[in-house]
Amino acid sequence: MVKLHDKFFKPFISAEEIDRAMTRMASEIAKDIGDEIPVFIGILNGSFMVVSDFVKKYPKPCEVTFIKLASYEGVKSTEDIQRLIGLTQDLTGRTVVILEDIIDTGNTLAEVHRIFKNEQVKSLKIATLFYKPEAYKKDFKLHYVGIEIPNKFIVGYGLDYDGLGRNLPEIYQIKQTEYMTNLVLFGPPGAGKGTQAEFLKEKYKLVHISTGDVFRYNIKNETALGMLAKSYIDKGELVPDQVTIDMLEAEVEKNTDANGFIFDGFPRTSAQAEALDKLMESKDSAISAMIALEVDDEILVERLIKRGETSGRADDADESIIRNRITEYYNKTAILKDYYSAQDKYYGVDGVGSIEEITERLSSVIDNL
């Protein structure tokens, strides 16, 4: 991992892979150009490394020159392209190949085409080592593309983040959500999970994702996933894990600038825990901890019976039903306790005491993650 200014980057494309793409482009271009002597034009600053390596691989005589354009500020492309150094030689009748490090929105490329509009070149070809198809907004043809990449900010091999990273021989991709605190919150019925989730959400500015709420929301709003889930529920079948994960993914995606998430009601099986790990990994993040509130059975029974007296919840009224729910909780969560323990992520927290005492204990776990 590398840190440039305030941001972190992870390895993404190796020097070997870059080399293979460059070799392939050089031979394709050489084949197409034949015996003519082309003029390769690099777009500074980013393309200096591409051009240097490219021309070393070019098997025949060629000329090399540069123009200098600037469009990027921080990690965003801007419309406003500055022409810092223009063409300095007559290209009439020449075969010109633009060598770009990366094509993102295509704004820079539009400027390149403006520059060549009045030049009487024989042909103008565009070659780029990297290309972000999801970001590209123009329709200029790209004649040679080395490697297509997703629409995420990268550095290395000539590409910079505010001046840094150009010297790295391989490509690194920005890590956007690495410092999230993502909690899986567990607790037997009556442990005070709801109360504590509210508190943690406030204190750590986390987004609380209760699977039950997410289901109700999707079904009520008749989202595609909600309708799909409902079709299983209506048949009396379990909603497949993938549908639930897709709903959670949509929630995570709505909140990518969050400090993290509290998952409540999910996962319930180790297959679901694995799916959740994969989801978080795809967001450059991870589950930080499973926190389980631990409360002695007798105390839970006592609390729930008391709650039943005022809440009127039928399932809180009957002691044997209560004991059943508690037993079921332990049967179901034992597997998850093992799953997260194996990753050193299981934290049991004593759930007996005042609300403040318990929040204090939870905070000390989270603060030490």
Mind telling me the catalytic residues? Answer: 193, 268, 307, 313, 325
Q: Of 156 and 189, which CB lies nearer to ligand IMP in the complex structure?
A: 156
Binding region for ligand IMP (CB under 6 A): 43, 46, 71-72, 77, 101-109, 153-155, 159
Q: Of 108 and 196, which CB lies nearer to ligand IMP in the complex structure?
A: 108
* Residue 77 contacts which entry, Mg ion, ligand IMP, none (Cβ below 5-8 A, type-dependent): ligand IMP
CB of 301 to ligand IMP, least distance (A): 58
DSSP-derived secondary structure letter, 84: E
Q: At residue 40, what is the residue type?
A: F
- Residue (of 257, 226, 223) closest to 243 by Cα position: 226
CB of 101 to Mg ion, least distance (A): 5
Torsion sign, CA atoms 111, 106, 45, 77:
positive
Contact positions with Mg ion (CB under 5 A) in 124-183: none
What is the DSSP code string of 249-308?
HHHHHHTTTSS-EEEES---SHHHHHHHHHHHHHTT----EEEEEE--HHHHHHHHHHHH
How many whole angstroms from its chain centre is CA 101?
23
Q: Are 108 and 138 in contact (CB under 8 A)?
A: no
CB of 78 to ligand IMP, least distance (A): 8
Choice from 38, 42, 46, 188 touching Mg ion (CB under 5 A): 46
- Alpha-carbon span 19 to 129, nearest angstrom: 10
- Residue (of 155, 177, 151, 135) closest to 13 by Cα position: 155
CB of 38 to Mg ion, least distance (A): 20
DSSP-derived secondary structure letter, 232: H
CB of 108 to ligand IMP, least distance (A): 3
Q: Of 95 and 107, which CB lies nearer to ligand IMP in the complex structure?
A: 107
* Residue 269 contacts which entry, Mg ion, ligand IMP, none (Cβ below 5-8 A, type-dependent): none
* Residue 226 contacts which entry, Mg ion, ligand IMP, none (Cβ below 5-8 A, type-dependent): none
Cβ-count burial of 121 within 10 angstroms (0-12 exposed, 13-18 middle, 19+ buried)? middle
* Residue 223 contacts which entry, ligand IMP, Mg ion, none (Cβ below 5-8 A, type-dependent): none
Report if residue 42 touches Mg ion, rule: CB under 5 A.
no
Give the residues lining the site for Mg ion (CB under 5 A): 43, 46
